[in-house]
Structure 1
Amino acid sequence: MNDPASTAAPGRTSPRPAVRAALRRAAPALAVYAAIRLLGLAVLAIWSTANGKDWHTLLTARWDSLWYTRVAEQGYGYTVQLANGDVHSNLAFFPLLPWLERGLSAISPLSAADAGMVVAWLTSLAAAWALYATGERLHSPRAGVALAALWAALPVGIVQSMAYSESLFTALAAWAGYSVLTGRWVAAGVLASLAGLTRPVGAAVVAAVWITAAVTLWRERADGAGLRAALRERHRGLIPGVVLAPLGFCGYFLWVAVRQGSLTGYLDVQAGWHNGFDGGIAFGSFLWHLLSGPAFPAGLGLLIGVALVIWLYVRGVRQGQPLPLVVYGGIVLLLALTAKGYFGSKPRLMMPAYPLLLPLAVGLARWRPVRSWAVVGAVAVGSAVYGAFWLNGSGPP
């Protein structure tokens, strides 16, 4: 397993030429990503029109996007009490996306909802760039392109174009992971902190930074190297990066705790939504209910899907994925599978777990281009059709 900090480039000068060169290399991946997502939007528009619905409304003004918009426009403090007594508070939604919506709408003609969609579109491209850079660094340029394409063509890839926080979070998490791989610890800490202000699963990014830093220092000590010299010469910025990483997540968690008057304030808010983590008991019961009843085919499909993502994770570990990707992908997968509410949201919750796609991307990169692009094209069409069907139906809760 590679030492993520060993490849840091000492004495870097102006980063602009390097950034431009990296963007030129990533251009094919960004073009493929944009083409797949535009296909999804086109199919959504056609399907929605035929169904008497507005594709724009589906992307900006339903489900979580409404809650984010309300936070952007009115701040925190809004709650809804359901007939069964449940209390849904907008404190459940982390603040970075609403802050960006508010800021962008303040300096442009866009509404907060439209600003959220623009943020999603731009940050999804940023995420695709990070995925390409990761695949290129670990394997090859073709693997980087394939990784970005596969992420775009996920069955629930349409969420990447919605006024949701998944695209923003994935961009921050993927660039944080890349920063760790290249020894840019301060950048990794800042990005991890921002990811922690975006979604609760930002804790996975913090864990990836912390655990990789701990292993890096342990290896230096095991090799008999002086820790002070290592931090000064080979791992500059590691300690500040480690300190910065949890500030966003912990800051919001503590702010909600103070506001609610309880150290478990955020967990209490999530409980009002019937969210939280129970080790997978509720999800296992849900799956068993499907398998033991008339919905057996759906339960079998869900079981196969869960087995597939677990296999992809194990496959990635066996292929020698670097530690930060193993930690991050594993925690995202674990949290998604052990969440006890909104079972239909699990594919969306796993969407930021991009390391799971690396084994598939590596496999595609080894095929002949005609064959690999035929597979990507077929998957992209399937994703576009499924996304339009899904969003015109029950959609993401």
Structure 2
Amino acid sequence: MVALRAGEDGPGLGKLLATRFDTMYYVHIAEYGYAAPMDGLCKVQGELCKYAFYPLYPGLIRGVSAIVPLPAGIIAWGIAVAASLLAAWGIFAVAEHVHDRRTGVIAVLLWGMVPHAMVESMAYTEPLFTAIAAWALYAVLTQRWLIAGLLATLAGLTRPSGAAVVAAVAICAAWTLVTTLRRRGKSPGTPTARKDTLAAAILISPLGWFAWFAWVGHRAGRWDGYFQLQERWGSTFDGGSFTLHRIAEIFTKAPVTLNSVVAALTVIAAFVLFTISLHQRQHAALLIYAAVLMLIAVGGAGYFHSKARFLLPAFPLLFPLAKSLATARPKIAYTVLTAAVLVSSAYGSYLMLVWQYSP
């Protein structure tokens, strides 16, 4: 739909997906490193502006560029698309494990139909982060603790919201370890290797996030350099006050933009779906992940128009809808999903061709 609406005089689908907004920073980091200046950009944020972008994605771009003779922007897009497919597979695996196969399929379909699903096809970090998060949660559900810890480390090197994966893995591993130790007296044969694995998962899961936090602080010359950098980007944490005020303004004052309305409705829907997930007693790992991700996305001040994109990796929130559609009559399910595809495609075209800022 984007390609059709762009027309022959437009920038082209490849340019829209592989070169816009945040992609410029990731590609520049991959090609020239973090210290190299970006002409015409970062005038407000200062010389450390690129350190707001986490290193895993540009590192992958740089690594693939060394062996594949293609422009870095195209490679960035290819990595994102491959990550989207891995994310879809991971979402299916998690949903099938906690529900059933049909729910897993519909959960993946819904993830591809959320308002900002266009980002899943762009050279952004959301696809990569969602893939890592999904498989980390699956590793927790299947008690593959070392894998979960390693993936949490990678998540912490991908986005600030990597803290959500770290929290889910570390808390669940800690609870399982405590439970294991309590049972030791009743079951003397509890394998020591299992306890060691759980402890290792707890210790390694936050290493990626803390390593980047420490490195940015070192480069800035102060321990809170990371937070200072985020402030220069206009991103601070106020517990959700900014978000609540913006939502109130959107529904009480005019004029408003389509993107701001969709962002507000997405935030509201996220809280409703999280409440339903609590009522349905979703697995603790999924609830912790979704809760921390929502706290980071909604609790941050600034970039209200991107709140829906920040919530894109919160796929466990889609499980109540997927479960309902899985048990609905096929005619109802197909009608709802077809309508969602059309609406999402139209809105994705709006984000790419009308909206002038990062989605």
Match of 1:36 in 2: none
1:67 aligns with 2:25: yes
Aligned amino acid, residue 329 of structure 2: R
Between the aligned partners of 2:188 and 2:168, the Cα distance in structure 1 is 22
SS in 1 for 2:237: coil
Quick one: which of 107, 110, 116 aligns to 1:156? 116
Describe the shift of the 1:303–1:105 C-alpha distance in structure 2 as closer, same or farther (beyond 3 A).
Answer: closer
- Aligned amino acid, residue 119 of structure 2: V
Aligned alpha-carbon RMSD (Å): 2.3
Letter in 1 for 2:304: F
Is 2:334 the counterpart of 1:376? no
1:79 deviates by: 5.7
Which of 288, 308, 315 is residue 354 of structure 1 equivalent to? 315
1:169 aligns with 2:129: yes
Q: Which runs of 5+ in 2 are unaligned?
A: none
Q: Is the 8 A contact 2:263 2:306 kept in 1?
A: no
Which aligned runs of 4 or more in structure 1 are off by greater than 6 angstroms? 80-84, 296-301
* Distance of 1:293 and 1:155 partners within structure 2: 23
Distance 2:261 2:227 in 1: 32
Instruction: Report if aligned partners of 2:156, 2:208 keep a CA contact under 8 Å in 1.
Output: yes
Number of the residue aligned with 2:303: 342
Distance in structure 2 (CA, Å) of the matches to 1:103 and 1:359: 39
Per-residue CA distance 1:179-217 (angstroms, 9 max, x = gap)? 000010000011010111100110111110111112222
Query: Contact 1:291–1:297 (CA<8 Å) still a contact in 2?
Result: no
Number of aligned residue pairs: give it: 355
CA distance in 2, matches of 1:311, 1:182: 28
Letter in 2 for 1:273: W
Cα distance in 1 for partners of 2:302, 2:39 equals 18
Instruction: Give the residue type in structure 2 aligned to 1:128.
Output: A
Kindly state the Cα deviation for residue 226 of structure 1 after the two structures are TM-superposed.
6.5
Q: Aligned ranges for residues 198-217 of structure 1 at < 5 Å?
A: 198-217=158-177
Q: Give the CA deviation at 1:218.
A: 2.9
Taking the aligned partners of 1:160 and 1:149, their CA distance within structure 2 comes to 12
Q: Which runs of 5+ in 1 are unaligned?
A: 1-42
- The percent identity for this pair of structures is 38
TM-score when scaled to structure 2? Answer: 0.92
Cα distance change of structure 1 residues 199 and 302 upon mapping to structure 2, 3 Å threshold: closer
Q: Report deviation, 1:232.
A: 2.6
Matching residue of 2:11: 53
Could you give the per-residue CA deviations for residues 227-268 of structure 1, whole angstroms, max 9, x where no partner exists?
985453656621122222111111111111111111111111
Per the TM alignment, residue 280 of structure 1 is displaced from its structure 2 partner at its CA by 1.3
Cα distance change of structure 1 residues 343 and 366 upon mapping to structure 2, 3 Å threshold: same
1:316 aligns with 2:274: no
What code does the residue aligned with 2:114 have?
Answer: L
CA drift at 1:51: 6.2
Deviations 1:46-77 (A, max 9, x none): 11126623111111111100000000001002
- Asked whether the equivalents of residues 263 and 305 of structure 2 are also in contact (C-alpha less than 8 Å), the reply is no
